[in-house]
Amino acid sequence: IEKEVPREPKDKWLRWALARVIPNRQLFGLMLRMGQVFRPVLPEKLRTKVPPRKSASPWPAASHNRVVLALAGCVQPSATPNTNAAAA
């Protein structure tokens, strides 16, 4: 599809940038934090796409014998830091 569907340069650049940023945990985290810092001055269209900053909650004490397998994705700790703690 990439070879047969003509894309505008803007779309090509966006796809290239996403392919480099999303799989890179450090780069994604840095870009997300920058977006959160500058969120108050971003245009409304972008502001709604940047989640407010949340710190990871403390890990809860074990109160049951159930087990959940939580795979840490490449950007999950940056984008949703409370996911694993909520599932515990």
Gyration radius (Cα) of the chain, Å: 17
> Range with the lowest mean pLDDT among 15-24, 27-36, 69-78?
69-78
User: Structure tokens of 2?
Assistant: 């990439």
Q: State how far the Cα of 56 lies from the Cα of 34, in Å rounded to an integer.
A: 18
Task: Decide if 27 contacts 20 (C-beta within 8 A).
Answer: yes
| Domain regions of the chain by residue span | 9-87
34-63 pLDDT, tens digit each: 999 999 999 999 999 998 888 777 877 777
Task: Decide if 63 contacts 36 (C-beta within 8 A).
Answer: no
- The reported pTM is 0.59
